A and B are shown apart, each in its own frame.
Chain A
């Protein structure tokens, strides 16, 4: 599963920042947990307002399933089984 993740908002919200994670690059059991958690995201739901000014939000899309649209997560929601997405973004994220 190829997962595109974009960090939006924050004090530097005018600078795009994102990464793509192919779960094939993760250990098999971790990949399964990430895929299951991503599957259960609120796909296509309207994005809520940021929790406070200059909070981050995360936009998630599936490279192979554009039909599912986008899921938007608040800062702090990339935890548990979704944590590998956050660490991947921090380590491999690209500006632009």
Chain B
């Protein structure tokens, strides 16, 4: 950082960071100039900032600009309107007297941290987009979702689901729908829809594992364990044993059980298990190799929005070979996993 830069002299670094992510192109450019960023980096960033949706540009590795989340928590006050409610906690503000607010704030932070620390991805769009969490959505609403702009949290009905902010994996899952929207943009029906769902579980569980210090061995690989009510104990889904998470879980564990026309959350059990198998075979943290292979696949230009399980599986193998070698243990683990879930490569 140059001392004589006028903007730098006036503005603190944190504000410069904020300005560099402004929606106003002129403000953004001035802030970037002020930060005296590498010219090549600036061009790449301006190009990718001009795009809306679709794939992000090459990963941003310049540490000065990223690494800072911009979270805002809104109170929907039990309304079902999807416009943003009342701001109740903004980035940097202290914890407040409502556990749902603090859980949402922390969960958004864990998700940001996972993507930044692992892939130097700056928020869901790779461009530092603000993360909005809307809590107390609806009346006893037993669900949570990403609507393309913000994450909405229901308080749960107490039987089916409880307070949805309590699930770090749930928050990672929903924000990953945002990541997918900016990358492969997988169509939300059929096999591509089940892949979309699976990718959200795959990265959602890693966000939780990283936040809690769990590795492939110590994680229970359960999805929704912290938000299920008494009727669905102990969890909604199991990546390790699809179909066995609770007495009503209808996920298949391999292609023999594939449900034609089934819900995207049902058939996602098959690719979920493939990821678990790769991660557990390789050992260590899920984000050491398995996570990066899946992430590279999600960002791979060859992955079509209407991809099938087989197309996705082949690309995971190609990415494992490219990153870790043709004959590496990683590629072997990927091949073995898809073989086990009966998706032919």
Contact = CB atoms under 8 A, between A and B. Distances in A.
Contacts of A90: 140, 157
Contacts of A12: 142-143, 160-161, 224, 232, 236, 265
Interface stretch (A22-30, A31-39, A52-60): A52-60
Interface residues of A, number: 22
Contacts of A55: 145
Contacts, number: 86
30 contacts: A9-B265, A10-B265, A11-B143, A11-B144, A11-B161, A11-B174, A12-B143, A12-B224, A12-B236, A13-B197, A13-B265, A14-B265, A15-B249, A17-B160, A49-B187, A50-B188, A51-B147, A53-B146, A53-B188, A53-B196, A53-B197, A53-B200, A54-B144, A54-B146, A54-B174, A54-B177, A56-B143, A76-B80, A95-B160, A95-B248
A44 interface: no
B173 A11 contact: yes
Contacts of B140: 90
Interface in B272-301: none
Interface string A43-72: 000000111111110000000000000000
Given A14-B265, A54-B177, A95 B231 contact: yes
Contact of A16 (B142, B224, B248): B248
Given A52-B147, A95-B231, A14 B188 contact: no
A17 B145 CA distance: 18
A8 B164 CA distance: 18
A50 B173 CA distance: 17
A14 B143 contact: no
A40 interface: no
A12 to B, nearest CB: 5
A96 interface: yes
A90 B196 CA distance: 28
Closest 7 CB pairs of A and B: A13-B265, A54-B145, A53-B177, A14-B265, A10-B143, A13-B263, A52-B147
Contacts of A96: 247-248
B146 A8 contact: no
Given A12-B265, A14-B250, A52 B236 contact: no
Interface string B238-258: 000000001111110000000
A52 B145 contact: yes
B249 A14 contact: yes
A13 B194 CA distance: 11
